[in-house]
């Protein structure tokens, strides 16, 4: 995947996401994409990487549409032209919404399909690792509980003092009574 670095100091890398209707026929769709490409050219932009998404469901209705298509394009544009490009994209017919974002330095552009495939591979492992963590936590809690109970048991064993035997008590009392020095 390409890492996005600007070719010169006069330009900056921008990520332009465009959302358009999913129910357009092929000709209208290609015309729209051509028009947006012309807008990019007008802003002296150079396309580094483009990632067209297939039809996607939206989280909420946008202009009455529940589904839309997206095109994510990474452009090199002189920063002074980006406002004009933003304005033109807003005026462009057929575009539902657009978003211009500055990706961080050294950003790796990954296509949606690739990202989805890697997610499919890592998803199961993530679930497994979570399960392992849960099991470990359970093991730790059980071990701690066992430690605590053994400690409590030990402390209970040590605590009770053996009662003096009855005979010894009697002997001691007799000694005290028989002691002549004590005037009871």
Partner 1 sequence: MAATQQKSKPTKKSCPFDRTGVRYLDYKDFPTLKPYIDYFGNIRKRYYSGLCLKHQKLLKNAVERARFMGVLAYRK
Residues near partner 1 (CB under 8 A): 17, 19, 58-60, 62, 68, 70, 72, 97, 99, 101, 103-104, 107, 112, 115, 119, 123, 144, 148
In the complex, least distance from residue 155 CB atom to partner 1, rounded to whole angstroms = 14
* Residue whose C-alpha is closest to residue 15's, from 79, 100, 81, 89: 100
CB-nearer residue toward partner 1: 59 or 184: 59
Distance CA 100, CA 119 (A): 25
Tell me whether residue 118 or residue 172 sits nearer to partner 1 (CB atom): 118
Give the C-alpha separation, 77 to 6, whole Å.
9
Least spacing, CB of residue 173 vs partner 1, in Å: 38
We find the least distance from the C-beta atom of residue 84 to partner 1, in angstroms, to be 21
Q: Could you tell me the smallest distance in angstroms from the CB atom of residue 121 to partner 1?
A: 12
Q: How far apart are the first and last CA of the chain?
A: 104
Q: Which helix (H) or strand (E) holds 83?
A: helix 82-91
With respect to partner 1, which residue has the nearer C-beta, 44 or 111? 111
Closer residue to partner 1, CB minimum distance, 80 or 139:
139
Burial of 75 (0-12, 13-18, 19+ CB in 10 A): buried
* Cβ-Cβ contacts under 8 Å for 97 (sequence gap 6 or more): 18, 19, 62
Shortest distance (Å) from residue 162 CB to partner 1 = 26
C-beta closer to partner 1: residue 126 or 173: 126
């Amino acid at each position: 995947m390409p890492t996005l670095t600007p070719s010169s100091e006069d330009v900056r890398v921008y990520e332009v996401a465009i959302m358009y209707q999913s129910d357009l026929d092929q000709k209208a769709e290609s015309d729209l994409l051509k028009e947006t490409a012309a807008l990019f050219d007008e802003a002296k932009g150079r396309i580094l990487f483009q990632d067209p998404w297939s039809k996607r469901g939206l989280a909420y209705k946008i202009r009455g549409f529940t589904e839309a298509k997206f095109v994510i394009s990474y452009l090199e544009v002189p920063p002074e032209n980006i406002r004009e490009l933003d304005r033109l994209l807003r005026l462009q017919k057929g575009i539902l919404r657009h978003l211009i974002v500055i990706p961080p330095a050294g950003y790796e552009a990954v296509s949606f399909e690739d990202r989805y495939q890697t997610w499919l591979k890592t998803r199961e492992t993530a679930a497994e690792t979570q399960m392992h963590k849960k099991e470990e936590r359970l093991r730790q809690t059980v071990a701690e509980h066992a430690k605590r109970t053994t400690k409590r048991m030990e402390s209970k064993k040590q605590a009770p003092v053996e009662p003096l035997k009855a005979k010894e008590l009697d002997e001691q009392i007799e000694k005290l009574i028989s002691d002549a020095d004590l005037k009871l």
